[in-house]
Amino acid sequence: MGAFGWPHLLIILAVILLLFGAAKLPALAKSLGQSARVFKGEMKAMKDDDSTSTSASEPKADAPADAPASHSPGDTKP
């Protein structure tokens, strides 16, 4: 009872065609595609930001943060 079939989709498409007209449909489809592309790009950027922020917040176990910098053997400054 709640499922959409092909007849339902065809009726919806016919109503959209009547509302917007045949001349405006290509522009409407182009606008919809661009909006979807922008949304997809923003979602990817948010996902990348989340992954970089979690890796930056984790402390590194290799080198302690408060260790003094090592000097090379050629340094003779006191």
SS3 of 24-78: the string is CHHHHHHHHHHHHHHHHHHHHHHHHHHHHHHHHHCCCCCCCCCCCCCCCCCCCCC
Any domain includes 11: no
Any domain includes 74: no
- The pLDDT mean for the chain works out to 79
- Better pLDDT: 73 or 52: 52
Would you say residue 75 has pLDDT above 60? Answer: no
Any domain includes 47: yes
Number of domains in the chain: 1
- Taking the C-alpha atoms of residue 13 and residue 44, their distance in angstroms, rounded to an integer, is 31
- Taking the C-alpha atoms of residue 45 and residue 68, their distance in angstroms, rounded to an integer, is 37
Any domain includes 39: yes
Residue percentage of the chain with pLDDT more than 90: 29
- Taking the C-alpha atoms of residue 76 and residue 78, their distance in angstroms, rounded to an integer, is 6
Any domain includes 3: no
Any domain includes 34: yes
Model confidence band, residue 56 (pLDDT cutoffs 50, 70, 90):
low
Would you say residue 37 has pLDDT above 90? Answer: yes
Would you say residue 74 has pLDDT above 80? Answer: no
Task: Please give the residue range of the domain that contains residue 32.
Answer: 24-53
Any domain includes 48: yes
